[in-house]
Amino acid sequence: MSTLLLLPRNAVVAFLVAYRRIISPLYGDVCRYHPSCSAYALQSVQLHGVLVGSWWTARRLLRCHPWATGGIDDVRPRRRFRYLITPAGFVVAGHQKG
Amino acid sequence: MDIFSIILWPLKWVVELLLVGWHWLLSAAGMDPASGLTWVLSIVGLVIVVRAALIPLFVKQIKNQRRMMEVAPRLKKVQDKYRGKRDQLSQEAMRRETMAIYSETGTNPMASCLPLLVQMPIFFSLFQVLNAAQAGKAGVGPLNSQLAEQFGNAALFGGFAPLHTSFQKAMEATPPQVGVMIVAAVMVVLMTASQFITQLQIMSKNMSEEAKASPMFKQQRIMLYILPFIFLFSGFAFPLGVMFYWLTSNIWTMVQQFIVIRNMPTPGSEAAKKREERLARKGKLVVDEGTAQETVVVVEKQQRQQPMSKSRAKKSGTKPNSGGNSSERK
């Protein structure tokens, strides 16, 4: 059941991981923030899901322009995160704590 | 309509407007409205407008980059702290500290994601516009079905390479269109080569020692050699029109980079050293380059230059500008 629920999230994660592997290196380090916009997108989708994660990502992307100061800008942590994140970045149902 | 096309809709509209605008202009200037050259030049016009609009972003980035010298000592400290630590956690901590220095001092040299964010959807939009035009379908705005059909069918080289075809389509056609395949293959190679050369220029000449020491640089180097292959393969599915956009865009980047590398190199990069040498050889600064502030900096550097053995030069590394005059206006 949770696999099905996590399907959209993991689809976006797969896309973002591929993007970070293939397209990102083309432009090198350009982001004015840490984590970079794509890392931010990946984390926020992993933690918050497609809808909320996309919202945060869109706002971050709009912040990343040459006139911004930049700097450290972490993804909003999730207080109770029910899932586990695999080393590859995918989100799976966790067994540790409910 | 899915969410993707809703986001792209306004961009497609603008892309079409620019294309149709240039096409109208060129036709009014006496070119054949249906010829491939007219439409290719319209694509070139589109690139010019897009890239010219991005120049302010670029200039801002260059200005940001030049202020890097001010924080070089602090950056070096962070690098020394993490020297030899290649594990992910240290690297992440190092990036974090570097970023903190940038934002603290307001000297962030990064380009930001905006230029990318603008160009990628334009590229996709053009792709979609061309794909629709190929079917003779009208666009979302100024490109009506008549113009769309004309665009898709506009052909180059005596009429046998229409802009909507790709290598793949020419290959799958019965009988295979060998001529079109050759044109498409040449375009793919040109596109890949221009991308590779630009990237190589930036990486070999216009990167500071600090940037070259970062793990990101290694990854970038690997990708530098892998990417051409990815392009070679994916390029076969791109319509000729899209490839013209890409090629023109690459050429623009190349020229822009050349000017920047020559006249405004990243401090501490090889290109910067070359420029100093060049200026020293001439004895003085050429008037047309940069502002008066810059003149002061360069002259000062010139005076300090002493005969130095290669090993000593290496050891001393990148020196920060001592004078307060090096700071750009804020």
pLDDT at B170: 73
pLDDT at B213: 67
Higher pLDDT, B51 or B156: B51
Query: Least CB-CB distance to B216: which of A29, A67, A72?
Result: A29
Residue A56 has pLDDT above 90, yes or no: yes
Residue B159 has pLDDT above 70, yes or no: no
Residue B251 has pLDDT above 80, yes or no: yes
User: Phi and psi of B122, rounded to 5°?
Assistant: -65, -40
pLDDT at B297: 43
Percentage with pLDDT > 90 across chain B: 1
Residue B16 lies in a domain: yes
pLDDT band at A19 (very low <50, low <70, confident <90, very high): confident
Residue B282 lies in a domain: no
pLDDT at B293: 41
Report whether B8 contacts B125 (CB < 8 A).
yes
Count CA atoms within 13 Å of residue B322 on its CB side: 5
Residue B316 lies in a domain: no
pLDDT at A45: 94
Contact call for B113 and A64, based on CB within 8 A: yes
pLDDT at A54: 92
Percentage with pLDDT > 90 across chain A: 33
Could you list the residue range(s) of the whole structural domain that residue B191 is in? 3-275
pLDDT at B23: 87
Contact call for A70 and B102, based on CB within 8 A: yes
Average pLDDT of the segment spanning B199-228 = 72
Which of A47-61, B29-43, B230-244: highest mean pLDDT? A47-61
Average pLDDT of the segment spanning B280-301 = 50
Of B186-195, B205-214, B237-246, which gets the smallest average pLDDT? Answer: B205-214
Q: What is the mean pLDDT of chain A?
A: 86
Report whether B12 contacts B139 (CB < 8 A).
yes
- Per-residue tokens: B21: 């605008």
pLDDT band at A17 (very low <50, low <70, confident <90, very high): very high
Q: Chain B closest CA to A95's CA: distance in Å?
A: 26
Residue B254 lies in a domain: yes
pLDDT band at B267 (very low <50, low <70, confident <90, very high): low
Average pLDDT of the segment spanning B201-218 = 69
Contact call for A69 and B103, based on CB within 8 A: yes
Q: Chain B closest CA to A60's CA: distance in Å?
A: 10
Q: Domain count of chain B?
A: 1
Instruction: Provide, as residue numbers in chain B, all residues whose Cβ is less than 8 Å from the Cβ of A64.
Output: 112-114, 117
**DSSP per-residue letters across B130-170:** HHHHHTT---SSS--HHHHHHHHH-EETTTTEETT--HHHH
- Interface probe for A, chosen from B7, B67, B112 (most Cβ of A below 10 Å), is B112
Residue B205 has pLDDT above 80, yes or no: no
Average pLDDT of the segment spanning B281-287 = 62
Tally C-beta pairs within 8 A across A and B. 77
pLDDT at B210: 64
Which of A24-33, B145-154, B246-255: highest mean pLDDT? B246-255
B325 touches chain A (CB under 8 A): no
Report whether A31 contacts A41 (CB < 8 A).
no
Average pLDDT of the segment spanning B187-192 = 86
Closest-CA residue of A relative to B59 is A66
Which of B80-84, B227-231, B317-321: highest mean pLDDT? B80-84
- What is the predicted ipTM? 0.79
Helix axes B114-134, B240-263, angle to 10 degrees: 160
Closest-CA residue of B relative to A58 is B117
Helix (H, G, I), strand (E, B) or coil at A37: helix
Query: Least CB-CB distance to A32: which of B104, B110, B223?
Result: B110
pLDDT at B169: 75
- Per-residue tokens: B141: 């705005």
Instruction: Name every residue whose Cβ is closer than 8 Å to that of residue B272 and which is 6 or more positions away in sequence.
Output: B265, B266
Instruction: Name every residue whose Cβ is closer than 8 Å to that of residue A17 and which is 6 or more positions away in sequence.
Output: A42, A88, A89
pLDDT band at B31 (very low <50, low <70, confident <90, very high): confident
Residue B115 lies in a domain: yes
Q: Chain A closest CA to B187's CA: distance in Å?
A: 20
**Ramachandran area for residue B139 (φ above 0: left; ψ -120 to 50: alpha; else beta):** beta
Residue B64 lies in a domain: yes
Interface subset of A 37-96, CB within 8 angstroms of B: 37, 61, 64-72
pLDDT at A42: 94
Residue B298 lies in a domain: no
Dist. CA B127–CA B221, nearest whole Å: 29
Of A8-22, B14-28, B306-320, which gets the smallest average pLDDT? Answer: B306-320
Instruction: Provide, as residue numbers in chain B, all residues whose Cβ is less than 8 Å from the Cβ of A58.
Output: none
Closest-CA residue of A relative to B109 is A32
Closest-CA residue of A relative to B226 is A22
Contact call for B220 and A30, based on CB within 8 A: no
pLDDT at B91: 81
pLDDT at B285: 55
Report whether A6 contacts A49 (CB < 8 A).
no
Instruction: Name every residue whose Cβ is closer than 8 Å to that of residue B96 and which is 6 or more positions away in sequence.
Output: A34, A72
Q: Chain B closest CA to A48's CA: distance in Å?
A: 19
pTM: 0.69
Q: CA angle, B47 as apex, B43 and B51 as ends, to 5°?
A: 175
B57 touches chain A (CB under 8 A): yes
Query: Which amino acid makes up residue A29?
Result: D
Residue B323 lies in a domain: no
